[in-house]
Structure 1
Amino acid sequence: MTTPPSWDAMYEPDGAPPPWDIGKPQQAFLRLADQGLLTGRLLDAGCGTGEHTLLAAARGAQATGVDISAHAIAKARAKSAERGVQANFEVADVLSLGQLGMTFDTIIDSGVFHVFSDEDRARYVASLASVLPSGGRCYLMCFSDRQPGDYGPRRVTQGELRTAFADGWTVDGIDADTFEVNPGALPVTTVHAWRAALHRI
């Protein structure tokens, strides 16, 4: 597997963190943890430096985080050791999750779905399905079309989310939420998001 230089460059050891790497979990995932929903065998798809994986692990989940960036995974493993929180981190492509040889009860996605083209979006949803058996749950947060301006990633509509997960999934809800971003990385400190709750049929 070859890591696209653009992703690994985002996590250069001496570089500034990317906009989404805020050094703590997003509030939406803290709320999920507080509701007891980040449990069981949990996969953090596109985990970056591991904040949500470590949050789930600290709440008792058997948590695995995967990211295509080796730099990001190195930082996540260092955090795990520093905090004394046991979690598994692997360099892996979220478009080929079946290669992990594992299945999960819960998947979380914080800001990954919106990076894909239409073609890769379908591959991503199929990849998630390959490791999430019937009854498994997925909590996904992505950039929203309610966000004004043209900076940042591609905007996603509720309709696009429902279409992407139309086959083999039930959309339990899509709610408005926000991402916190690093000050200065974008011209704002929060951006509009959709938070989707899904499960496999």
Structure 2
Amino acid sequence: MSVPSSAPERPVAHVYDAAYAGVPNWDIGRPQQAFVRLLDAGLVRSPVLDVGCGTGELSLFLARHGHDVLGIDLSMTAIRQAKEKARWRRVAADFLVWDALNVSRFREANLSFRTIVDSAMLHILGDRERDRFVDGLGDVLASGGLYCVLGDARRTEREIYGITPGEIRDRFRRADGWEVLFALPTVFERRWSSNRAYFIGVQRL
């Protein structure tokens, strides 16, 4: 796959490299159940972009079920582990060290996606980062394509961490070419705990 270079710009990349030197709490060694149900429902279409893919469990799961998948993450350590898993398991998935805030640059390689999956990436971004990310999604998600995000439920209106269905509807407006198809309460599993979460699907019109 030929794509333009996108070295991580944000200092938080080093924080995640340090986390992936061990086994972070959010890396449960399998995909979150919300995405398993998404696949079972027949709603995943190739090509797939997995933003904030970590060590690649969701990417590898979708690729093992026949999908053309590209996983991206800020952390070089996580991407190295994802590539090693793909090699050990003999699963054909591609992985790149890439800042999800720069997804619009995939247009330079004439790449677009029919499904974009986000397992707990959006919910950690700041307000302006979310704006930038959503703008980039609009550049690379094909018409009729689906963006599916799983994130911790926001605990209070004053917090930026987490997501709510209302926020997603505000950011993905029909007037801008989006339609929220579903917003389901669920849980985000961690190795030693779980949090209230939402699983939300947004279609590019």
TM normalised by structure 2 equals 0.87
Q: Secondary structure at the match of 1:105?
A: strand
Find runs of 4+ consecutive structure 1 residues off by over 4 angstroms: none
Answer yes or no: is 1:193 the counterpart of 2:197: yes
CA positional deviation for 1:43: 0.5
Task: Report if the CA contact (8 A) 1:3-1:69 is conserved.
Answer: no
In structure 2, what is the Cα distance between the partners aligned to 1:165 and 1:181? Answer: 28
In structure 1, what is the Cα distance between the partners aligned to 2:134 and 2:140? Answer: 11
CA positional deviation for 1:37: 2.2
Match of 1:159 among 162, 166, 186: 166
Answer yes or no: is 1:124 the counterpart of 2:130: no
Answer yes or no: is 1:17 the counterpart of 2:23: yes
Match of 2:72 among 66, 77, 85: 66
Task: Report if the CA contact (8 A) 2:124-2:162 is conserved.
Answer: no
RMSD: 1.9
Structure 2 gap ranges (5+): 1-6
In structure 1, what is the Cα distance between the partners aligned to 2:98 and 2:20? Answer: 23
Once the two structures are overlaid, the 10-residue window that deviates more, 47-56 or 94-103, is 94-103
Q: Which amino acid aligns with 1:198?
A: V
Match of residue 48 from structure 1: 54
In structure 2, what is the Cα distance between the partners aligned to 1:9 and 1:157? Answer: 26
Q: Secondary structure at the match of 1:37?
A: coil
Deviation readout 1:120-160 (Å, 9 max, x if unpaired): 1110111111111211111111110259xx9xx81322211
In structure 1, what is the Cα distance between the partners aligned to 2:99 and 2:92? Answer: 22
TM normalised by structure 1 equals 0.88
Once the two structures are overlaid, the 10-residue window that deviates more, 65-74 or 16-25, is 16-25
In structure 2, what is the Cα distance between the partners aligned to 1:18 and 1:8? Answer: 14
In structure 2, what is the Cα distance between the partners aligned to 1:156 and 1:40? Answer: 26
User: What is the aligned-residue identity percentage?
Assistant: 37
Once the two structures are overlaid, the 10-residue window that deviates more, 29-38 or 40-49, is 29-38
Task: Report if the CA contact (8 A) 1:45-1:67 is conserved.
Answer: yes
